[in-house]
Homo-oligomer: A and B are copies of this chain.
Amino acid sequence: MQNQTVTINPTRLLADLHQLRQFGAHKCGVHRPTYSPQDMAAREWLMERMREAGLSARMDGVGNILGENPRARHKLLVGSHSDSQNYAGWLDGALGVIYGLEIARAFVECGGDLPIGVDAAVFADEEAHFASFLGSRSAVGLLNDEEIDRSINLTTGQRLRDALGQAGLGAMPRMTIDPSRYDGYLEAHIEQGDDLEARNLRIGVVTSIVGIHQYRLTFHGVRNHAGTTRMAIRKDAGAALVALANHIDARFRELTAERTVWTVGSIRLFPGEVSIIPDRAEMLLQVRDDDPAVLALYEDELRALVLEADRKGPCTVTLEVVSQSAPHRMDERMQNALLDAAGVLAPNAFQRMPSGAGHDAQILAGVMPAGMLFVPSIGGISHHWDENTAEADIVLGCQVMSEACQNLLLNGVFPQF
């Protein structure tokens, strides 16, 4: 193989992506929630395609699929997830899954004399219909049966155990990936933002996946009549929330980290009636950055603002940390292999960048070197059926990743190269 080049087939790549799109087709996108009939049909189809390509495919007790190259001894794992968000886009997850399939079969086809190759991975429920990163966490040993027992579908309320049973997975064992069998994990994904597009670039090499801090702010005041209670004596929890949310936004804008994002996704007032002064109000605030120091800076600022508002009154304010995930660095060697390949195949059209969204790669990064590649999202749209990427970019991304895989594996076998 040393003198052969692993070459992906663009026509087949695109055809398979469009084929996968038929499972749960909805408008221009897909509705393929984890373990739905259309999700399971897609997984069966993916296993067929793997077997046709000469891979040995098997699915486990949470729906994860591993398509193994039976001849290779030095291998990379390449994949993503095939479930979608509800009524969402056709490329989120699917792109990385078909890249894994295409690159794995390109290695099989290449048929060189070196024992190198790629295994294709398809994870389940990255989109958290039941639990975030369910499949990839199971694959690295971070999911226990107790969590499976208590998880329910956030949309339908169905119990995970029942969903697994209905999908025919109830009696099947779960697979754990043996990290010693892989040089590393690579995942491709649509960017889901507009940074590449805005800079007229075609490839992003992910430096790290952002950490996410989620907070709940709760305001307590006094419920009273909205007509008879003078403004001066009110303890209006809703008004306190609006004032502090506005203050937080203004102060956060003064902090200068370039890529930090924050979002208030939910606000609720209680009792929520037009003629009653709310005695309780809640907001959910999320902050994302790829630098732990920046996340800490924002949290310090947030705590100070909450404390100040609570002391000032007239309402009390409490801050609760709902969840905190640390940023996940992508492996330097993986990044460099992707950068080198992009330098050859997409000169002057690539950049290093953090990932603002979470991905299975952050879970795999806990057990092996991991890397990620982004292709542009048209208009930055994602988690919506209008999500799309130019076909030329889809093809280029797969070529870059394939080239990076070959270089990594060749250097793994012959470190002197």
Contacts and interface: CB of A to CB of B under 8 A. Distances in A.
A47 to B, nearest CB: 30
B265 A276 contact: yes
A261 interface: yes
Interface string A209-237: 01010100000000111111111010010
Contact of A263 (B233, B260, B275): B275
A238 B264 contact: yes
B357 A228 contact: yes
A267 interface: yes
Nearest to A374: B228
Contacts of A272: 265-266
A266 B273 contact: yes
Interface stretch (A50-58, A113-121, A375-383): A375-383
Interface residues of A, number: 61
Contacts of A195: 230
Given A193-B229, A226-B288, A230-B194, A265 B275 contact: yes
Interface string A346-390: 000000000111100000000000000000010011111000000
Contacts of A275: 263, 265, 286
Nearest to A357: B227
- Centre residue among A245, A268, A273 by max chain B CB count within 10 A: A245
A227 B212 contact: yes
9 contacts: A223-B384, A225-B356, A227-B288, A228-B382, A233-B380, A239-B249, A242-B249, A265-B274, A274-B284
